[in-house]
Amino acid sequence: MKSLRFRCVAALCAFAAAAVLVCTSGQAVLSQKNAANSKPGAGARAAAADSLPGFDIASLDRSVSACQDFNQFANGGWVAKNPIPAAYARWGRFEQLSDSNTVQLHQILEGLAQQKNLKPGSNEQKLADYYESCMDEPSIERAGYTPLEPELERIASIKDLAGLEEEVARFHSHRIPAVFGFGAAQDFKNSSSVIAQVSQGGLGLPDRDYYTNADDKSKQTRDEYQKHVARTFQLLGDDPDRADAEARTVMSIETKLAENSVTRVQRRNPEANYHKMIKADLIKLTPDFDWSRYFVNVGLPSIDAVNVGQPDFLKAADKLLTTIPIDDWKSYLRWHLVNAASSTLSSKFVEESFNFNGKYLTGAQEMQPRWKRCVGSTDRALGEALGQIYVQKTFTPQARARAQEMVKNLIAALRDDLSTLSWMSDQTRQRAIAKLDAFIRKIGYPDKWRSYEAVEISRGAYYNNLVNASAFEVKRNLGKIGNPVDKTEWGMTPPTVNAYYNPSINEIVFPAGILQPPFYDPKADDAFNYGGIGAVIGHEMTHGFDDQGAKFDANGNLVQWWTDEDFKKFNARTDCVVKQFDAFEVEPGLHQTGKLVVGESVADLGGLTVAYAAYQKSLQGKPRPPVIAGFTPEQRFFLGWAQVWAGSIRPEAARLRAKTDPHPLDRFRVNAPLSNTPAFAEAFQCKVGDAMVRPPEQRCQIW
């Protein structure tokens, strides 16, 4: 699943006349000729107003040239007026809109919690009880870590490998990570089939490189993590010496798992992560692990086939399970249990988790208020039950119809582009257009809502409700194995401020949460909206043809549908993007990793190109739109793109994202694609030599 931001790939692990700005000698100045034309009587009077519908003119930083740093020019004023709140690692348009949606969800949940006599077993009852159990701080404080005691006792009773394997399966059935990952996924090479999938996992730090890199910052992070683990063991009642020893044990086991894990860049290659096996082959690969017992314990008595994402990791894990003492594994399991459950326990556990995962890793200065954390938890646990009420209150049929129309226009623009690409042969072109025409389009919310009838939720312990919701989700996921693929299913909840493309289903999905200002604003003109939500839509569409999506055909199968020569040309063009992003410096000595962010960056470049073409096509046969607040329609389009990515990020969070996130930092998402776009240079009258204009021989162009 390829998302607009902050998501993993689910299958591999889830848019008149006035003053005009021109660039002269690197400075943004007013064209005297056009400024004179802005006097009343020279054109539409409304166009002279210092107002750009959908955009606050004060968001601009006019001290900076649009041709030198368009992100700063377009967003510098907004950033200056919107410092990062203490509870956030980043603050931008996404967070701002997400916060607004959270307020809407909070009102819904508070209203349900205050209602009497909700129907037992109804979605409303479960939402109210889940939320209230999370908000019941006095009960949570009194309980401390006692909700974990039954599981802690099970861990303490483990005596041999069989007991260890049973507990790993129990963890997985409750969605608690341990040793490796397991779940259901579409078969990469038979997209109509859902099979079991095993993948690397079992780490507590964000990525394997945190364990393996030898630089000073990585060493410091490992030291801080080990201290965090030790402090958490003390909260469970261990004395300091025992806690320190257990923390060293956890670090040792996780380091061994990390050393046998592949990198995030390697996981981006679907062919390298596809190793379909029958059960007998899986047993041969890992002879010491009892897969029959494991499958029964996770609720799957029979398995026909499984994809092993990283066989070498699984072989290493098999050996570690037999060579590392059982008592050491028990410490590892205790840690991963409490680490997964910390948010449901008393304040000491919550604060300890935040101090490392929030403050140290991301730079956030304080926790979000409890109500926000509980709203988020309810959305994650019962998302479509909550989302169904959300869309009834916030997302009109008219809004859905407008979004559907824009998606239709963007698809038409990409079809036109594919039809005329000079570097693509007719054979590949026909298959590419067939894939585009096969896109499943999901707008706003599911047509078929998920049933939560089987989830047991009460106003009891918050931890128990979270475990029950997690167990339901695991059972629902594993229940897909061997059954037909449900193409109506969604991978995001309706209030989510994001969007995604799923190559195995060949679908583009836009939740209601993002289909509102500033991404789509009914008050703004078409230029602004095409640059905003239009480019977002184009971004997700282009994921179908990025470095990963291009390997899946119209039916979602991993197959080479390009001619060899065309695919060679395509890779050369994406390699141009890789090199550009390798050069972007996050901070001194730390660069973006081009091969990690290439998919998102290709989608940004393609989405912007397609959206601009769609906007130009929408003007055919119509009078040219006026200049508004000094900006031509073309300039407003690019401002619409830039404002999507307005925001600031703390240095700690920037470092974390640079190492782990396939999405580049937002400032690069503004400037990089625009510097490759001749239409941008023409709109702002930038010239070769300006920072925002790449020389033709260095320009990346794909679609």
Q: What is the DSSP string of 109-123?
A: HHHHHH-SSPPTTSH
CA separation for the pair 674, 604 (Å, rounded): 10
328 catalytic per annotation: no
Under 8 Å between Cβ of 37 and 18: yes
Angle between helix 149-156 and helix 326-341 axes, rounded to 10 deg: 170
Catalytic pick from 540, 600, 634, 661? 540
CA separation for the pair 614, 416 (Å, rounded): 10
CA separation for the pair 701, 221 (Å, rounded): 39
From edge to edge, which strands make up the β-sheet containing 180-187? 180-187, 190-200, 305-308, 276-278
CA separation for the pair 400, 386 (Å, rounded): 19
| Residue 258 region by backbone torsions, left for phi larger than 0, else alpha for psi between -120 and 50, else beta | alpha
Q: How buried is 575 (Cβ within 10 angstroms: 0-12 exposed, 13-18 middle, 19+ buried)?
A: middle
Tokens (6 digits) for 595: 């091969």
Query: From the CB of residue 682, how many other CB atoms can be counted at a distance below 10 Å?
Result: 10
* CA of residue 680 relative to chain centroid, distance: 28
Pairing of strands 507-511, 440-444: parallel
- Residue written as tokens 């690197």? 26
User: Smallest Cα–Cα separation from 597: which of 673, 537, 677?
Assistant: 673
Angle between helix 93-114 and helix 123-135 axes, rounded to 10 deg: 110
For every residue of 293-335, which 3-state class applies, written as one string? HHHHHCCCCCCCEEEECCHHHHHHHHHHHHHCCHHHHHHHHHH
Catalytic pick from 604, 634, 661, 666? 604
* CA of residue 355 relative to chain centroid, distance: 23
Tell me the three state secondary structure of residue 79: helix
Tokens (6 digits) for 635: 């300039």
Pairing of strands 647-649, 590-591: unpaired
Listed in order, strand segments (DSSP E) in 378-493 are 440-444
- Give the C-alpha distances (Å, rounded to integers) separating 266 from 115, 274, 599: 51, 12, 13
575 catalytic per annotation: no
Tokens (6 digits) for 567: 């695919």
User: Smallest Cα–Cα separation from 348: which of 144, 65, 543, 79?
Assistant: 144
CA separation for the pair 309, 198 (Å, rounded): 6
Cis peptide bond N-terminal to 518, omega within 30? yes
Write out the catalytic residue numbers. Answer: 540, 604
